[in-house]
Amino acid sequence: MDRTRLSVNINKLATLRNARGGNMPDLLRSARDIEAFGADGITIHPRPDERHIRYQDARDLKAVVKTELNIEGNPIPSFIDLVMEVRPTQVTLVPDAVDAITSNAGWDTIKHREFLSGIIKKFQAHGIRTSIFVDPDPQMVEGAALTGTDRVELYTESYATAYAAGDKEAAKPFALAAEKAVSLGLGLNAGHDLNLDNIAHFKQSIPHLLEVSIGHALICEAIYLGLENVVNMYKYRLQ
C-alpha cells in the first residue's frame, strides 16, 4: 500500500497555551518541531471564539510551516476571509455549529451542494486544495463530487467507537465510501478519534487513503510517550 500522510492537528497545544496566557507552549516552535519529527503537515481548526487556535495563529503559521498547512472550519464569512488571506495548502470544510466542542457530523452534500460549490470554486481559483468533511455514506460522497471538491475527509468517530467495542467490521462502511470516492476521482482523507490503537487497522482496510489528520489522541499519547516518538509511531502504522 502507498504511505498515508500524517497531518498533526495542534489545536490542543493552543488550548494548553491559552489556559495560562503567555506563550507556553510556543505554537510556532511546536509546529516546526512536529515537522522535524516527520509529520507531513500541520492542521488547525480555528473557531469563532478562538478558544484554542486564534486567527492570528493561522497567519503566523503560514510563514513557519514548510510541509502542508491544512485549515479546517465552517465556512462562515470570517473563516472564508481568513483562508483567502492565509492561502493554506488545503482547506477542509466542516459544518460545525458555533458552540460545538468538536466536530460531530459531516456535511449533507446534497442539501448544501450549491453553497459548497460556490465556496470551493472561490478557494480553488486561488490554488487552495479543497476537502469536504463527510460521513461514510456513498450518497454524501457522490454529493461531494458534484460540488467540484478535490477531496473528501471521512468522519471516523463511528469507526473508532465500534473498533474499541471489538467490532471487526468497523471499517466496512468507510471502505465502501472510500471505493465510491476513488471511483469518482476524489482524493481521500480521514480524521476524528483515530489513535495509535485503531489507526493501523483503518489504514489496512481503506485503500487509497491519502491523509489522516490527528490531534487530540496524538497529543494525549505524547504526554506518556513523547511527541517525537508518537509522531513516528503513527508514521510507522501508516506505512
Parse the chain into domains and list their residue ranges: 5-237
Is 201 an annotated catalytic residue? Answer: no
Is 52 designated active site?
no
Active-site residue among 35, 52, 68, 72? Answer: 72
Q: List per-residue pLDDT tens for the chain, 239 residues long.
A: 478 999 999 999 999 999 999 999 999 999 999 999 999 999 999 999 999 999 999 999 999 999 999 999 999 999 999 999 999 999 999 997 655 545 568 999 999 999 999 999 999 999 999 999 999 999 999 999 999 999 999 999 999 999 999 999 999 999 999 999 999 999 999 999 999 999 999 999 998 999 999 999 999 999 999 999 999 999 999 98
Residue-level pLDDT at 100:
52
Residue 96: predicted pLDDT: 76
Write the CB contacts of 116 (distance below 8 Å, at least 6 apart in sequence).
93, 107, 109, 132, 144, 147, 149
> For this structure, is 85 an active site residue?
no
Q: Which residue in the list 35, 52, 153, 192 is annotated as catalytic?
A: 192
pLDDT value, residue 1: 47
Catalytic residue, from 35, 45, 153, 221: name it.
Answer: 45
What does each C-alpha distance from 48 to 63, 77, 93, 105, 214 come to in angstroms?
22, 10, 14, 18, 21
The listed CATH number (3.40.50.1980, 3.20.20.70, 2.40.50.140, 3.30.360.10) that belongs to domain 5-237 = 3.20.20.70
